[in-house]
Amino acid sequence: MEKEEKQDIMRHSMSHVLAKAVGLLFKDVKYSIGPAISDGFYYDFDISVSITPEDFDKIDQKMREIINANQDFVRKEISRAEAIKLFNDQPYKLELIKELPEDEVITIYYLGDDWFDLCRGPHIENTKMLRGFAFKLNRVSGAYFKGDEKNKMLQRVYVYGFDDKQKLKGHLFMIEEAKKRDHRKIGPELDLFMLHETAPGMPYWLPNGLKVFNILVDFWRQEHKKRGYEEFSAPQLNSSELWKTSGHWEHYKEDMFIVKELDGTEYALKPMSCPSAINIYQRKLRSYKELPLRFSDIDVLHRNEKSGQLNGLFRVRMFRQDDSHNFIAENQIKSEIKDILEITERFYSIFGLEYTLTLSTRPESFLGEIEVWNKAEDELKHVLDEVCGKGKYNINEGDGAFYGPKIDIHMKDCLGRRWQMGTIQLDFQLPLRFDLTYTDNESNKKVPIIVHRVVYGSLERFIGILIEHFAGEFPFWLSPVQVGIVPVMENHNKYAKKVCDELEKSGIRCEINTKDTGMGKKVNEFRTQKMPYTLILGDKEAAEKSVSIKIRGGKQINDIKLKDFIKACKQMNDKKSLQLCEQF
């Protein structure tokens, strides 16, 4: 048995220990479900009183009593009638039983002689095997039964759980570190973005945040222009007829914002840009000489995410995405995918972000013929075998888009968290649905293939991840304001203005603090803004055309020539350096 599988079995067993402990401590407990999750386990309860963090100590103590009592986990197969009788006072279990297929083998697991639960298992044999298991009650949150907002809200008790104390200790450290880096806290503090109740899931980009956003977009434009990408912009609102042709109306309608005219005509705010790119492709006859034809955009998209799933910049309803839809011939698949993977390496490496590639294959609900799907999947496998090596990439069966298989890009941040960001999707279906063609070198009509691809993914989500990855301390080239300028006294303001002008001429973003609050307070204001460099300018600096530099993190360097400082800043901008220069 794999170590991770064993740990999951222990976590699942611990969820039963948690459920039994809660049942012993509270009256009239109605049980729902209790699975293992990536960092522990949880259990959902319906109880007349609220479980609070003040209850955690007694729940923890009762769980340890159960573990130390050496209680057996015993599996028992029962009939459907027996199950209904056993759980006649447990409405959530009864509903789960009724949903089971007629030929399903129904099992319960006893924990000791006095408590049992509906469960497929597996479990450990005895609670004594859990004595070395490290756990800590985490939090209580609301959760709808089966995730359906129409059902009753239950109380979900989360517990961290690992098979040894060091893993738990390391995880708790990472949790605390993640709290310090939380973009929902740092972002507003640094005036990057804000959220407002009148537009849930739709961030406001504040001036500093829009600077970061535009820096990323400018870099994106520069890099893609070199590679023959053509940027466009398209309408936000499109008739339902467009989405019906594309298949989104059938497969994606409930995630779209629908608008109805008085005459009943339906429109939808676009959740993705592929039909827009297709409309541009169709505006004239196309030749094989034009392919690959790469239409990129960074338009606003809207997706009707559930309110309970919204999460800062990570899960939003309005966002921008660095989309491109590349129209290619069949013999260009390999070279086009390899080119996109080269762009991916360029974009992720400058942020120090590791990433892995995953092939996602045909889902249950798909368009087109299986033979075409098999061909598309084989093409992507050949590319990944060459780029990564055979067996050195992941395969996620059944997670492809409804129109084609894809390569998903998962990146890893400094806390070890993995994020689904970019994606490269091979599409043989939409060209057929839209009757797309081009003429080959013999004037025959051919159907192009569309490669849907994003590298950043959602810009909102990407920036949220960068905020947490860097804890708000952006690399110099990405910082909204790169240099803070502090004149020591009012009579130094003139030199400060001259320094600012010289920096701005060299493309360096700077800001002067001329408040009458004393030098220390002005320096501290820039420190709290996580400014890469703060220049302190007094008599000596003005006389010698130099600067004294306070480097983010605390180090100070005096008597540096302004021209040398500017030269170092320009080099960091040009090289997209991750580290701040400390030698001038």
Selecting among 452, 453, 461, 509, the annotated active-site residue is 452
Q: What are phi and psi of 123, to 5 degrees?
A: -135, 170
3-class SS at 319? Answer: strand
Selecting among 303, 315, 362, 530, the annotated active-site residue is 303
Closest CA to 117 of 96, 146, 144: 96
Q: Which residues contact 483 (CB under 8 A, 6 or more apart)?
A: 503, 508, 509, 510, 511, 531, 532, 533, 534, 535, 569
The amino acid at residue 30 is K
Residue 553 CA to residue 465 CA, distance in Å, equals: 21
3-state secondary structure 376-397: HHHHHHHHHHHHCCCCCCEEEC
- Note if 321 is an active site residue: yes
Residue 429 CA to residue 404 CA, distance in Å, equals: 7
Burial of 22 (0-12, 13-18, 19+ CB in 10 A): buried
Tokens of 505: 């001429």
Q: What are phi and psi of 575, to 5 degrees?
A: -85, -5
- Note if 452 is an active site residue: yes
Q: Output the CA–CA distances (angstroms, integers) from residue 477 to 54, 133, 549, in the order listed.
A: 47, 46, 17
Residues in the chain: 584
- Note if 303 is an active site residue: yes
Selecting among 12, 20, 248, 325, the annotated active-site residue is 325
Selecting among 119, 274, 510, 569, the annotated active-site residue is 274
Query: Distance of alpha carbon 350 from its chain centroid, rounded?
Result: 19
Residue 53 CA to residue 169 CA, distance in Å, equals: 20
- Note if 184 is an active site residue: no
CB 41 within 8 A of CB 63: no
Selecting among 8, 44, 117, 323, the annotated active-site residue is 323
Selecting among 321, 425, 429, 529, the annotated active-site residue is 321
Selecting among 123, 406, 461, 550, the annotated active-site residue is 406
The amino acid at residue 75 is R
- Note if 388 is an active site residue: no
- Note if 325 is an active site residue: yes
Going by the DSSP 8-state scheme, the letter that residue 257 receives in this structure is -
- Note if 119 is an active site residue: no
Which residues are catalytically annotated?
274, 303, 321, 323, 325, 406, 452
